[in-house]
């Protein structure tokens, strides 16, 4: 998430709880949530206010995003890596980690060819 998205997220919160926000709030929320995707954070805000009247804080969003990601992983089967990686355990594990990350992020499970090719060649070379 970037600063504009952090501001948008706070505006989304304000639409529910009528909070006032300023630049310091945006900076603080970006520090607490900047490593998360805006899309997941926004979904967490909507879910929070759909079932709670509590004032939302970054920790609430982090917990809900963690749950969103867990459910994606639980509900999606990680595809088998390409057969050419069977004899290369580091590349095989890297492919599985990347596929799991993509699923958790809400992206298609199969990493694009550019990732499987270039990224895994570096692993094969020991980098």
- pLDDT tens for 41-54 read 999 999 999 999 99
Structure tokens given for 95: 């492919």
In the predicted structure, residue 70 carries a pLDDT above the cut 90: yes
In the predicted structure, residue 123 carries a pLDDT above the cut 60: no
In the predicted structure, residue 127 carries a pLDDT above the cut 80: no
pLDDT grade, residue 126 (50/70/90)?
very low
In the predicted structure, residue 120 carries a pLDDT above the cut 80: no
* pLDDT of res. 80: 85
- pLDDT tens for 11-27 read 999 999 999 999 999 99
DSSP 8-state code for residue 70: H
In the predicted structure, residue 114 carries a pLDDT above the cut 60: no
In the predicted structure, residue 89 carries a pLDDT above the cut 70: yes
Q: Do the beta carbons of residue 40 and residue 12 sit within 8 Å? A: no
What's the burial of 16, exposed, middle or buried (CB within 10 Å: 0-12/13-18/19+)? middle
Closest residue by Cα to residue 6 from 17, 31, 18: 31
Report the alpha-carbon distance of residue 47 to residue 41 in Å, rounded. Answer: 10
* pLDDT of res. 112: 54
Structure tokens given for 35: 């490593």
Closest residue by Cα to residue 99 from 115, 116, 124, 78: 78
Report the alpha-carbon distance of residue 101 to residue 72 in Å, rounded. Answer: 10
């Amino acid at each position: 998430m970037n600063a504009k998205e952090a501001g948008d997220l706070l505006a989304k919160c304000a639409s529910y709880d009528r909070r006032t926000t300023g630049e310091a709030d945006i900076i603080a929320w970006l520090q607490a949530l900047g490593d998360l995707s805006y899309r997941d954070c926004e979904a967490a805000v909507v879910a929070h206010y759909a079932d709670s009247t509590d004032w939302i804080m970054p920790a609430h969003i982090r917990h809900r995003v963690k749950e969103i990601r867990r459910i994606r992983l639980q509900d999606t089967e990680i595809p088998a890596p390409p057969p050419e990686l069977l004899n290369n355990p580091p590349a095989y594990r890297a492919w599985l980690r990347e596929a799991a990350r993509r699923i958790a992020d809400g992206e298609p499970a199969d990493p694009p060819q550019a990732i499987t090719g270039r990224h895994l060649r570096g692993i094969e070379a020991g980098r």
